[in-house]
Amino acid sequence: TPVTLPAATAVARQVLAEVFGYAAFRGQQQAIVEQLIGGGDALVLMPTGGGKSLCYQIPAIVRHRAGQGVAVVVSPLIALMQDQVGALDEVGVEAAFLNSTLTPQQAASVEQGLLSGRLTMLYAAPERLLTPRFLAMLESLHERGQLSLFAIDEAHCVSQWGHDFREEYLGLSALHERFPDVPRIALTATADDHTRADIVERLQLQDAKLFISSFDRPNIRYTIVERDNARTQLLRFLRDEHEGDAGVVYCGSRKKVEETAAWLQDEGIPALPYHAGLDAGVRKRHQDRFLREEGLVMVATIAFGMGIDKPDVRFVAHLDLPKNIEGYYQETGRGGRDGAPADAWMTYGLADVVNQRRMIDESPAGDDFKRVQRGKLDALLALAEAHDCRRVRLLAYFGEDSQPCGNCDNCLHPPVTWDSTDAARKALSCIYRFAQHGREHHGARSFGVAYLIDVLRGKRTEKVEQYGHASLSTFGIGADLSEQQWRAVLRQLVALGHVVTEGEYGTLALTDTARTVLRGDVQLRMRTPAEAPRRSRSRTRG
Ligand code: ADP
Ligand code: ZN
C-alpha cells in the first residue's frame, strides 16, 4: 500500500524526533525524504555538514517499518561506513556494513541478516555490491519486495571530471538496469554543472528530482594571499590567529607534506604528516590522534579528509593551489563544521599557475579532458586573482547568486587596485621583442620571468650584456615598478592565459589572446601588494 504524503510527512517527523532526537528537518531534508518515501528518485547536492545522511536514513527506516525491506547504501569510505553503522546502532536501528575489513564469518552473518529481513540498512563498498554473489542476493530480496531503496553517497566519484573519480562507481548504473522500480538517491557535497550532468548520465538519474541546497558556509572566512615566503606567512597565520587550534595544512606533494610537518614541529607547533605514501598503520594513528586530541595540525595531501567528520577544525590552509574550485571548496569545507568561525587560508603565486598549467599540458589525457581541466583551472585562478568578494565568486561557480559577504579578505579589507594594463603591455612587448631580436641575432631563444623582469627594470646583468638586450626598446621601460609588482603582473598574465610558460626553465611565450591586451582591447586591474615597496621608493632604490 503506497504511503500518502501527509501520512509520510507525519511518519518521517516522528522518526526524526523519536529515533534521532531532532525537532525539525533542516533545509530541504523534508522534501527529499518525502520524495524517497513516495518511491521517487533524488539527486541531492548539499554542502558538507548539511545533513545528507538523514535524507536516506529516514526513508530507509520508514520504508522498513512499512514492510518494504532493506536500504542499500553505497559508500566509498570504510571509516564512514563504520561510523554510521555505529551511530545507527546507538539509536537502535539495525544496520551493518560489508567491506574488506570483515572476516568471512562476519560477512556471512551480515548476509544472513540481510536475507532474513532483519536489517534496515546495509552499507557496502561499490566493488562488493557489484559482485555476482551480492547481486544475486539483491535479486532474491527484490523478488520478495524487500529492497527498499538505494542510496549512492559521494556520487561525484562517478565522474571523471570530478576530483575523486572511482572506477567502481561506473558499475553502479547496473542497479538501475536490474532494479528499475527501486527508488534511488544520489548524494554529493560537490558538483559543478559538468559533474552534475555526468552523475545524471552515468547513474541514469534523468527522472530524479534535483535538490540543490545553498553551498554557502557563512562561518568560513576565505583569504587568499600572494605568496612571498610561504613558511613565514603560514607561521604568522598560525601564531597570530590559530594558536592551539586544530587545523589542516594542505600541500601539493608528499615530500612537501613531510618537510612542512617537520618544520612546524621544529617551530613548536604540534603537527603530523598524512599522505598516501605513508604506512597504513601510521596514517590511521595520525588520523585517530587528529580526531581525538585537541589542537593538532594535520599537514596532508588531498589523500586526507574525505569523510573525516571533526567538527572543530578551525582552519584549513593551502600552501599549494588545488586543481579546481570544487577541490578548493571541498577541502576548505572541512573547516568549521560545528558552525563556529573557521578560516580558509591560501598562499598563491606564479609557480602555482605555471605548475598547474604544465601538469595539464603534460598529462596523457585526451584534448577534451584537458580543455575541461583548463577551464576549471581558469575559474580557480580568477578566484585567486579576484579583488571583489571571494564568496560571491565561489557560489557563482556552483550556480548561486549572492551579495558581497562581509566575511572574506576582499570584503573585510577591500584591496587597493591599480590599472595594470600598461604594465601588462610593456611585459608582453618585451617578450615579443625577445623573440624578434632572437631571430635577427642569435637564433630564437626565449627567457624566463626573472630575466624578463631584469630587462624591464633595466638591470645590466651579465646575461643582459651577453644577449645584447640593453639595446631593446623595452629595456628599462618598467623601472617604475618593483620586482614584486612585476611578478604579480606576470602571474596575472599567465593566470589569464595571455602568456604561457614552457619547458623546465619556464620560458615565456605569448598566446593568441596577448594581442587583445597589446592592442588595448582589454583593461586589467590588479591588487596593490600589501607589502610592496611604493613606486617612488622602488625608483630611488633601482
Ligand atoms: P553531511 O553528510 O551532509 O556532511 P551529516 O549527515 O553528517 O552531514 O550531518 C551533519 C550533522 O548535522 C550531524 O551531526 C547530524 O546529526 C546533524 N543534523 C542533520 N540533520 C539535522 C537536523 N534536522 N536537525 C539537527 N541536526 C541535524
Ligand atoms: Zn566577501
Q: For residue 396, how far is its CA from the centre of ligand 2 (angstroms)?
A: 12
Per-residue confidence (pLDDT) for residue 506, from 0 to 100: 75
Q: Which residue has the cell 539509536?
A: 91
The finding on whether 52 has its CB within 6 A of some atom of ligand 1 is yes
Q: What is the 3-state secondary structure (H, E, C) of 70-105?
A: EEEEECCCHHHHHHHHHHHHHCCCCEEEECCCCCHH
Q: For residue 204, how far is its CA from the centre of ligand 1 (angstroms)?
A: 27
The finding on whether 307 has its CB within 6 A of some atom of ligand 1 is no
Report the atom number in ligand 1 closest to the C-alpha of 189: 3
Q: For residue 329, how far is its CA from the centre of ligand 2 (angstroms)?
A: 15
Q: For residue 462, how far is its CA from the centre of ligand 1 (angstroms)?
A: 64
Per-residue confidence (pLDDT) for residue 537, from 0 to 100: 34
The finding on whether 46 has its CB within 6 A of some atom of ligand 1 is yes
Q: Which residue has the cell 572511482?
A: 166
Q: Given the DSSP bridges, would you call strands 209-212 and 42-45 parallel, antiparallel or unpaired?
A: parallel
CA of residue 67 relative to chain centroid, distance: 40
The finding on whether 126 has its CB within 6 A of some atom of ligand 1 is no
- Ligand nearest to the CA of residue 406, numbered in listed order: 2
The finding on whether 53 has its CB within 6 A of some atom of ligand 1 is yes
Distance (Å) of CA 46 to CA 24, 191, 380, 446: 17, 9, 21, 48
Ligand 1: residue whose CA is nearest its atom 12 = 51
The finding on whether 478 has its CB within 6 A of some atom of ligand 1 is no
Ligand 1: residue whose CA is nearest its atom 9 = 51
The finding on whether 22 has its CB within 6 A of some atom of ligand 1 is yes
Angle between helices 421-441 and 449-456 (to 10 degrees): 100
Checking ipTM against 0.95, whether it exceeds it is yes
Ligand 1: residue whose CA is nearest its atom 26 = 22
Please choose, from the candidates 393, 364, 365, the residue with its C-alpha nearest in 3D space to the C-alpha of residue 380. Answer: 393
Residue 317: its H or E element: strand 315-318
pTM above threshold 0.90: no
Could you list the pLDDT tens digit for every one of the 542 residues in the chain? 455 666 888 999 999 999 999 989 988 999 999 999 999 999 999 987 789 999 999 999 999 999 999 999 999 888 788 889 999 999 999 999 998 889 999 999 999 999 999 999 999 999 999 999 999 999 999 999 999 999 999 999 999 876 688 888 999 999 999 999 999 999 998 777 888 899 999 999 999 999 998 889 999 999 999 998 999 999 999 999 999 999 999 999 999 999 999 999 999 999 999 999 999 999 999 999 999 999 999 999 999 987 677 889 999 999 999 989 989 998 999 999 888 999 999 999 988 888 888 888 888 888 888 888 888 888 899 899 998 999 999 999 888 889 999 999 999 999 999 999 999 999 999 999 988 888 777 665 668 899 999 999 999 999 999 989 999 999 999 999 999 899 999 988 988 889 988 776 778 889 999 999 999 899 999 887 654 433 333 333 32
- Ligand nearest to the CA of residue 218, numbered in listed order: 2
